[in-house]
């Protein structure tokens, strides 16, 4: 058994190099498939990040009437904070509001003057509410609509966001759906191409397989080198894909950072999810190779 495993390995490697060009073609197809899968991953991450960035800018501001006390506002904040849909609630006090107002109109002495003339702070406190999902805002607004709260509120600033939110929700769903469809279609195409490439490679060996079987080789002895080659192809294609992918990521990183604002780093993303992304890809590549090789060899092994 040990000797035969060693021989199977020897034949697998020998065959790989003696049929170098065919090996190269199979390998190239595998690498192309893997690179494209990773392009899909990049596309997906970028789309999601872009949507998150926009979504993050959406919020509801509620401005309280100026006579409402801080305690009352705090109570409302506490309550809203407790809602399942709400991510964060920021409190801006009357004083802070005035400060902000002054800062905003620094260059307009008339306004500053008129504000200072009124002794009492004319502005009310406000809360800035961020929901976990853009689709949660309507529910939050509904709650604020109840008289219990509505009576305390001077004005709400959300209407102008409503259309944006609806658009984003639409885009999120569409992008999500199209990524899944593209990924599925692509997976199907690559499976077909790889399956055929391997079948071709094994087809050229059919006389050899026949000869082996007539000499008295067991099925395992004939299949072994092909299966092992499938694993080798899987590992090699993954390594080559990494060698192509990382320079590519480094190249597009500054551009993505520009488009997406903030500190989005695609290289870091791949590093952080290295095992998950490439582990799954490697597993997929090896399984696909093994299954294709197995099905292809089985056809000729039955002599």
Partner 1 sequence: MIQFKKISKIFYPKTVAVKDINLSIRPKEFVSIVGQSGAGKSTLIKLLTSQLKPNSGQIIVGGWDITDIKAKEIPLLRRQIGVVYQDFKLLPSKNIYENVAFALEVCGVPNKRINSVVPQVLKIVGLKEKAGHYPDQISGGEIQRAAIARALVHRPKILLADEPTGNLDSLNTKDIIDLLLKINEFGTTIMLVTHNKDVVNRIKKRVVLMDHGEIISDQEEGKYIL
Question: Nearest distance from residue 22's CB to partner 1, in Å?
Answer: 11
* Near partner 1 in 173-232, by CB under 8 A: 207-208, 211-218, 221
Comparison of 152 and 228: residue with beta carbon closer to partner 1: 228
Within 8 A by CB and 6+ apart from 22, the residues are 200, 201, 204
Question: Nearest distance from residue 298's CB to partner 1, in Å?
Answer: 13
Comparison of 10 and 132: residue with beta carbon closer to partner 1: 10
Comparison of 25 and 111: residue with beta carbon closer to partner 1: 25
Question: Nearest distance from residue 208's CB to partner 1, in Å?
Answer: 5
Q: Give yes or no for a contact between 250 and 267, defined as CB atoms under 8 angstroms apart.
A: yes
* Near partner 1 in 6-65, by CB under 8 A: 7, 14-15, 18-19
Distance CA 87, CA 127 (A): 13
Residue ranges in 19-158 assigned as alpha helix (H): 20-57, 70-81, 94-104, 109-117, 137-145, 147-150
Within 8 A by CB and 6+ apart from 222, the residues are 209, 212, 213, 297, 301
Comparison of 145 and 218: residue with beta carbon closer to partner 1: 218
Distance CA 245, CA 253 (A): 12
The burial of 204, by beta-carbon neighbours within 10 Å (0-12 exposed, 13-18 middle, 19 or more buried), is given as exposed
Map residue 64 onto helix, strand or coil. strand
Map residue 98 onto helix, strand or coil. helix
Comparison of 7 and 177: residue with beta carbon closer to partner 1: 7
Question: Nearest distance from residue 194's CB to partner 1, in Å?
Answer: 23
Question: Nearest distance from residue 201's CB to partner 1, in Å?
Answer: 12
Q: Give yes or no for a contact between 63 and 154, defined as CB atoms under 8 angstroms apart.
A: yes
Q: Which two tokens stand for residue 33?
A: 């498939």
Question: Nearest distance from residue 226's CB to partner 1, in Å?
Answer: 13
Comparison of 2 and 251: residue with beta carbon closer to partner 1: 2
Question: Nearest distance from residue 236's CB to partner 1, in Å?
Answer: 20
Comparison of 144 and 209: residue with beta carbon closer to partner 1: 209
Distance CA 133, CA 157 (A): 18
282 binds partner 1 (CB under 8 A): no
Facing residues of 157 across strands?
61
Contact positions toward partner 1, by CB under 8 A? 3-4, 7, 14-15, 18-19, 207-208, 211-218, 221, 303
């Amino acid at each position: 058994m040990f000797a035969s495993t060693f021989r199977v390995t020897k034949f697998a490697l020998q065959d790989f190099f003696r049929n170098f060009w065919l090996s190269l073609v199979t390998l190239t197809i595998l690498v192309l498939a893997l690179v494209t899968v990773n392009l899909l991953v990049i596309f997906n991450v970028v789309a999601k990040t872009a949507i998150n960035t926009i979504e993050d800018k959406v919020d509801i501001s509620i401005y309280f009437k100026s006579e409402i006390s801080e305690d009352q506002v705090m109570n409302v904040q506490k309550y809203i904070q407790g809602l399942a849909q709400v991510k964060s609630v920021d409190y801006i006090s009357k004083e802070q509001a005035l400060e902000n107002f002054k800062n905003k109109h620094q260059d307009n002495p008339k306004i500053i003057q008129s504000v200072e003339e009124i002794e009492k702070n004319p502005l009310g406190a406000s809360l800035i509410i961020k929901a976990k999902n853009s689709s949660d805002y309507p529910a939050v607004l509904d709650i604020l609509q109840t008289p219990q709260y509505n009576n305390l509120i001077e004005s709400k600033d959300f209407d102008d966001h409503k259309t944006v939110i609806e658009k984003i929700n639409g885009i999120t769903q569409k992008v999500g759906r199209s990524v899944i469809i593209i990924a599925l279609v692509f997976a199907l195409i690559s499976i077909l191409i790889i399956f055929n490439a391997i079948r071709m490679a094994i087809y050229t060996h059919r006389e050899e397989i026949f000869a082996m079987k007539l000499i008295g080789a067991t099925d395992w002895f004939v299949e072994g080198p092909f299966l092992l080659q499938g694993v080798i192809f899987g590992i090699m294609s993954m390594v080559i894909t990494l060698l192509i992918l990382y320079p590519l990521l480094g190249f597009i990183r500054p551009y993505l950072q520009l488009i997406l604002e903030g500190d989005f780093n695609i290289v870091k993303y791949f590093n952080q999810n290295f095992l998950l992304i490439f582990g799954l890809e490697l597993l997929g590549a090896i399984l696909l190779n093994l299954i294709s090789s197995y099905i292809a060899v089985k056809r000729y092994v039955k002599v």
